[in-house]
Structure 1
Amino acid sequence: MKSKVLNYPKHRKHTYHFLDYAKKFSPVYLSIEVDFNNIQKARERIMNETATKISYISFIIQSISQVLRSYPKANAAVKGTFFPKIAFYDDIIAKFTLDKTIDDERVVLSGKVLNSDTKTLESIQSDIDYYKNSTFQQIEDFKPIHKLHSLPTWLGNVLYKKNIDDLKKRHNIQGTFTVTSLGHKPIKYFYPITSSTLCFGIGSIEEQAKVIESKVKIRPILPICLTFDHRTIDGALAADILTEIKTKLENWGS
């Protein structure tokens, strides 16, 4: 049987550069389960009252962002080996992944929500919908990716690393944290590769039996997995952040 060896597809070059850069990071993995009962009720109430569809990702982005405001040491990024540097950012910028197509090929791209800690759910959803409903060619943020796709892989890799290594620019390119979801599929836990200090992997909601006030009740449970860069923060701080996110989501509206 013959094999076919081809040049690396140009529409995946941005992913190649991202993964190559992510080798520098020191990932550690945590996970937690969240009772999503109050979020489901809040989402249904908003949709009934305003006819506005709010995705679960909007709730998650807002909650992470507001929690992160209390942990400025985690809203940061590290670079370097022999002379490492760390940057702390005043702005909180959420990055989220989405499926798009380029020349009929399915790829993963990412959008951003600026100042995500101060935005309403509706405003966050509006930002998500912009990236979701626009084509690859229409989105201004994707112009650098156009350029990367057109360059020889080696040159694109050099330029990508040069830009992302600039700590003063990195948060505007990468966000200060990332949310990536496979919740539309029956995936429970997954731990993303990251090139930011915090990256949250969102699985699918599953109904489970839980003991609540000495009674067994069926609850919608959402798994959230966290990949964090151990160069920037330690596990205890990451655990505090993840636990506080769980508390905020579970007590939504309380």
Structure 2
Amino acid sequence: MSNEILHFPKQRKHTYHFLDHAKEFSPVYLSIDVDFYNIQKVRKNLVTEKKIKISYIAFIIKGISEVLRKYPKANSAVKGSLFPKIAFYEDIIAKFTLDKTIDNERVVLAGKVINSDHKSLEEIQEDLEYYKNSTFQEVDEFQPIQKLHSLPTWLGNMIYKKTVGDLKKRHTIQGTFTITSLGHRPIKHFYPITSATLCFGIGAIEEKTKVINNTIEIRPIMPICLTFDHRAIDGALAADILTGIKNQLENWGN
């Protein structure tokens, strides 16, 4: 096979613009293991009693959203410049990534759960299913991405940066936190690139030994990794948030 140099695929232009914008951020990485025993019980009961199947991502979005309500300083975004600014948002908006195909090109797209702290698990799951089961062309929220794909790369990049550079509107585009999962593969730790103050990478559940009341048990453990923008918050606060999420998820239903 001979070497080829081709034009950058238009289907991936939105990812190119996102990553170029993300260079502004100052990422720091943390991770924690979460025991999903109680959540597995709750999921099983929902299927048995209500015939409702809730994904792990819905539980995680709900758990993060409830914890984030307690830490308003982290529900924020920073714009860097000679005169940096920080915005604090009242609404909590979860952004989650999707593995999609556009014209035979595999790409990452993102959906949003608006006011995720106020929605039930079932409502969050409905939002997830809407994006999951719809094609790229069917989702109205993807129309701006279609526009970016049609523009010259240099122009699309300028428009993208100008749009997300507006702190008053950034949360409606980027969400106030992001969750991205590779848990469908045997990936343990996953530290995503972020363009938000908080971005969570979800790995696969693995059966591990755990000491509970002086007894060794086998428990389903999921790693949750956090990339946070150090310009907005410090490590101590990020650690408190991640610990709060662990406690929220592990004690679900108690």
Query: Aligned equivalents of 1:137 and 1:207: distance in 2?
Result: 39
CA offset at residue 104 of structure 1?
A: 1.9
TM-score normalised over the length of structure 2: 0.99
Confirm or deny that 1:97 pairs with 2:97.
yes
Code of the residue aligned with 2:95 in structure 1: it is K
1:44-71 deviation digits (Å, cap 9, x = unpaired): 1111111111000000000000000000
How is 1:1-254 mapped onto 2 (pairs within 5 angstroms)? 2-254=2-254
Query: Aligned equivalents of 2:228 and 2:68: distance in 1?
Result: 13
Code of the residue aligned with 2:139 in structure 1: it is I
Query: Any gaps of 5 or more consecutive residues in structure 1?
Result: none
Code of the residue aligned with 1:88 in structure 2: it is F
Q: Secondary structure at the match of 2:109?
A: strand
Query: Any gaps of 5 or more consecutive residues in structure 2?
Result: none
Query: Aligned equivalents of 1:68 and 1:153: distance in 2?
Result: 36
Percent of aligned positions with the same letter in both sequences? 73
Code of the residue aligned with 1:90 in structure 2: it is E
Q: Secondary structure at the match of 1:162?
A: helix
CA offset at residue 190 of structure 1?
A: 0.9
Query: Aligned equivalents of 1:110 and 1:2: distance in 2?
Result: 35
Query: Aligned equivalents of 2:130 and 2:121: distance in 1?
Result: 14
CA RMSD of aligned residues (A): 0.6
CA offset at residue 133 of structure 1?
A: 0.4
TM-score normalised over the length of structure 1: 0.99
1:29-86 deviation digits (Å, cap 9, x = unpaired): 0000000000000011111111111000000000000000000000000002210000
CA offset at residue 110 of structure 1?
A: 0.3
CA offset at residue 105 of structure 1?
A: 1.6
Query: Aligned equivalents of 2:170 and 2:201: distance in 1?
Result: 21
Consecutive aligned runs of 4 or more in structure 1 exceeding 2 Å deviation: none
CA offset at residue 251 of structure 1?
A: 0.4
Q: Secondary structure at the match of 1:83?
A: coil
Query: Aligned equivalents of 1:184 and 1:145: distance in 2?
Result: 26
CA offset at residue 240 of structure 1?
A: 0.2
How many residues are treated as equivalent by the alignment? 254
Code of the residue aligned with 1:207 in structure 2: it is E
CA offset at residue 253 of structure 1?
A: 0.5
Code of the residue aligned with 1:212 in structure 2: it is I
Q: Secondary structure at the match of 1:49?
A: helix
Code of the residue aligned with 2:164 in structure 1: it is I
Code of the residue aligned with 1:102 in structure 2: it is I
1:194-226 deviation digits (Å, cap 9, x = unpaired): 000000000000000111111110000000000
